[in-house]
A and B are shown apart, each in its own frame.
Chain A
């Protein structure tokens, strides 16, 4: 018995050890490497090697040089997240409350488009939004777009691409929380003479908030770091911070600046996430 308990006490550690070691070595430790990279002496290069000189100016330099793409990334990602929230909420609500016995199949349909490659999907948007394509021609016909107006290489195309590519990350957590809502609570609100809109904002919406928070995080974070949509659907005027980091690492080889910019991006995201979780968590849930 004692031996069994002893064995039981350690199996947990043995089972989690491989995953913990992998994530420790290749997820946690790399952040330390990134941090030290961001403090490299910018005089070094890939060939001659770098020295960690606690060159904190890398950060102020990075902010000064690249605050435009940084702000643009947050702005695009924020807008895309907002549109995803609206579209995703409607879709998740329809599946959860009107899906009936087709719910599982509908959920499969939500994920299905995302089994084709991210890049192939994004290139297909390039075709859809092309200059002489159906959408641009229609918008020109109703004068929403000038005769030489275009969608590609504009912020509209980049935000549309981000919205499309990250929509399932919004739908799935929203569905998970909407599905748990006891429909009798909504019925009770209408029995107590609440209008459908009031019932929604006082009952359904607050109960779905965990899904809203999870969905917005899972959409906003990858969207803020993405550069595929900005490159394929935008122009250099839509460069996002991901483009800059990627170029600094691979093309320019300026590891110090790239490291500093990555650290700044992560810090900004963590700060925004904390503020968002706190405001949505305490004020609305009480």
Chain B
């Protein structure tokens, strides 16, 4: 009797599961097991489904299709695509252009977006809810509409002939901004302001408090926002395609190649992007955990 009570205290399900085998038939037990693990199993299946195309991309980066006209089939294993990634005409130029635009747009969007997030969380001013609405809207507008609006603006203000690097840059900062602001705002909103109060109590000046306490705490959010905006910028096709003029970014290269037959090196770039992003995310997570552990000590 006493053991049963102990079991109930330690784990509510324990007594039921120790009694069940003797009273339930195997079929019922199977049913119980399935319904208990159904959600987890389905969730795992969906997660696998999300990785199937990635597996295909990685696999195709080792594909030798030089002797075949059918691009959409795995023929022979080769390392050529990895050793000669720049073989397809213009692909690496496109990648470089995308990286340049991505870095510059990320830098600008992250800085002005972080400032705006501080304004929205830490300061009261007229028009705050209106500002929040304007920040939300770009995330809720179809890209084709934003892209064509920008094109209409550029053309009607006489920049129709000068579409290129800077018009792409302007567009990318515009759509990255909202994501930066939302990400940094979430981090700022979750901050414990007791830490800042403590710094002030210990006679830190306002700027010391900011740079030694507030900023390091917000930094992970800022880094996440920067990573997000770089990948949004690097990946964008619809808005870029409308405002690029003669410039070719990596997604535009892939789009053009898709009409003729995609060189397998495209998959090398896809694989590299995936690996780099994962490494950055996991590295950041590991750093956060180390810091948390160091703080706890």
Report which A residues bind B (CB closer than 8 A): 8-9, 11-16, 18-20, 22-24, 26-31, 33-34, 36-37, 46, 50, 87, 90-91, 93-95, 97-98, 104-106, 108-121, 123-128, 130, 132-133, 164, 167, 217-218, 221-222, 224-228, 232, 241-242, 245-246, 249-250, 255, 258-259, 262, 265-266, 269, 273
Contact = CB atoms under 8 A, between A and B. Distances in A.
Contact of B149 (A31, A112, A224, A226): A31
A273 B238 contact: no
Contact of B72 (A15, A126, A255): A126
Interface of B: 39-40, 42-44, 46-47, 49-54, 56-57, 60, 72-73, 112-113, 115-116, 118-120, 122-125, 131, 134-135, 137-146, 148-153, 155-157, 160, 170-171, 173-174, 177-178, 181, 231, 234-235, 237-238, 241-242, 250-251, 254-255, 258, 262, 266-267, 269-271, 273-274, 276-278, 281-282, 285
Contact of B43 (A19, A95, A133, A242): A95
Across the A-B interface, give the 7 residue pairs with the lowest CB-CB distance, nearest first.
Answer: A225-B142, A94-B43, A12-B123, A115-B277, A30-B149, A15-B119, A19-B116
Label chain B's interface by main secondary structure: helix
B134 A23 contact: yes
Contact of A20 (B131, B142, B258): B131
Contacts of A132: 73
Given A19-B181, A126-B72, A218-B139, A29 B238 contact: no
B273 A117 contact: yes
A94 B56 contact: no
A97 B37 CA distance: 12
A130 B40 contact: no
B274 A232 contact: no
A49 to B, nearest CB: 10
A20 B73 CA distance: 49
Given A119-B237, A121-B57, A249-B151, A16 B131 contact: yes
B137 to A, nearest CB: 7
Contacts of B51: 109, 112-113
Contacts of B43: 90-91, 93-95, 98
A116 B56 CA distance: 12
A117 B174 CA distance: 20
B187 to A, nearest CB: 14
10 contacts: A18-B115, A19-B113, A30-B152, A90-B46, A94-B42, A119-B251, A119-B254, A120-B267, A218-B139, A226-B144
B129 to A, nearest CB: 13
B39 A116 contact: no
